[in-house]
Amino acid sequence: MDGDLRSNTHAPPQIQSSSWAQKYRGATVEDLDPPPALSSKPTDLISVALMNAYERDYTHLTVVSEDTRALLGYLNIPRLKELLKNGSVRDSDHVERAMQRFRRRGNVYKVITMDTPLEELEGFFNGGVDGNDPQDFAVVTDGSRRFVLGVATKGDLAEFVKRRPG
């Protein structure tokens, strides 16, 4: 029969949701109340970036261009501590020696904004853009990806679920 919805084979796939997803109840990244992003420049000293991260208890710092404020990459503080420990970098080196760069060419990035549903953020953490590359954190930007607004981590999501009445 024409118009029979039961025969529609092009229905969107069902999203696999965790037990946490039931607790999100329409919440978005904004509900996590992520702290403002703390950005370093490639020419900042590692010691300064590390001190800034410790003062705010941040695990990740974004790295932005000095000229354009474009997002270039990030510093993973636990990884940075390992690099310092094994002598790969010194605290007197510039951030650019230790930062992890975003590869812009040929890569697809998931845009995470304050309006992104938490179920979607959890999916990003669990599988990244392609579903095969779990992520520890997400850079929260405006919709046009011009401004870094904050950083959200798996820990932020877990903390939200713990304090959410349920």
- pTM for this structure? 0.72
Work out the end-to-end distance of the chain between its first and last CA atoms, rounded to an integer number of angstroms: 44
User: Strand pairing partners for 126?
Assistant: none
- What pLDDT does residue 55 have? 94
Mean pLDDT by 10 residues, the chain (166 residues): 38 46 85 88 97 92 88 92 97 96 72 93 82 82 83 89 77
Residues 6+ apart with CB under 8 A from 73: 62, 63, 99, 100, 101, 102
Place of tokens 């229905």: 11
- What pLDDT does residue 75 have? 94
- What pLDDT does residue 104 have? 67
